[in-house]
């Protein structure tokens, strides 16, 4: 687990990356965004990370794009993540921080938030979907989420407040050839 200290009085920024399906080969868009935001490079030199477990004050943040791999019962990816996290915590008798926040962006639906017993699970719409992958799908229309979005976490000693930022995909300009 990584602690995020301030450096020279400035907040440090971390950025999780999506899958090849969502953001394309090499994740050039995400890497470029990471550079623009001043993200601290990870151990591999990249500006994005596949999975992050960060501790800020008394809150443990578990941030990743992907959903869980195992599917034992019918539920949403977010509900499975919560269940698996609680099982792991009970099995290993972890001493958990006061707040535990799971953030996943693997959903193609609306922003969701779930809170129970100091655990906050947040599910946000995906940032981008690649046209070339979607067109190869049997049912491409169901793969496009209506919105894109992110999440803001406001962490204090007493609580963690979650703010969802959801907006429509920008329309690509139509270019006319004369």
pLDDT at residue 47 above 80? yes
pLDDT digits (tens, 9 = 90+) for 114-136: 888 788 999 888 776 666 666 66
E strand or H helix at 79: helix 77-92
Angstrom CA distances, 20 to 27, 28, 51, 104, 177, stand at 7, 11, 15, 16, 32
pLDDT at residue 148 above 70? yes
Enter the tokens of residue 141: 């229309």
pTM for this predicted structure = 0.73
Confidence tier at 1 by pLDDT (50, 70, 90): very low
Tell me, what's the pLDDT at 134?
63
What integer is the mean pLDDT of 90-119? 80
Tell me, what's the pLDDT at 162?
92
Tell me, what's the pLDDT at 8?
65
Enter the tokens of residue 41: 């490079």
E strand or H helix at 121: strand 119-125
Q: Which CATH number fits domain 2-168: 3.90.550, 3.30.750, 1.25.40, 3.60.21?
A: 3.60.21
| Domain boundaries of the chain, sorted by first residue | 2-168
pLDDT at residue 142 above 60? no
What integer is the mean pLDDT of 43-58? 86
Tell me, what's the pLDDT at 163?
92
- What's phi and psi for 27, nearest 5 deg? 50, 45
């Amino acid at each position: 687990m990584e602690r995020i200290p301030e450096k020279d009085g400035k907040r440090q920024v971390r950025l999780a990356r999506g899958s090849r399906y969502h953001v394309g080969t090499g994740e050039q868009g995400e890497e470029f965004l990471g550079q623009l935001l001043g993200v601290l490079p990870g151990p591999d030199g990249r500006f994005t990370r596949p999975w992050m477990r960060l501790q800020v004050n008394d809150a443990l943040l578990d941030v990743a794009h992907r959903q869980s791999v195992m599917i034992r019962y019918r539920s949403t990816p977010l509900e499975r993540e919560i269940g698996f996290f609680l099982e792991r915590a009970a099995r290993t008798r972890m001493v958990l921080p006061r707040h535990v926040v799971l953030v996943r962006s693997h959903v193609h639906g609306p922003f969701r938030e779930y809170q129970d017993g100091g655990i906050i699970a947040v599910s946000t719409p995906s940032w981008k979907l690649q046209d070339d992958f979607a067109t190869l799908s049997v049912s491409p229309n169901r793969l496009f989420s209506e919105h894109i979005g992110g999440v803001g976490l406001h962490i204090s000693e007493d609580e963690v407040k979650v703010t969802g930022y959801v907006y429509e995909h920008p329309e690509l300009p139509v270019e006319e050839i004369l």
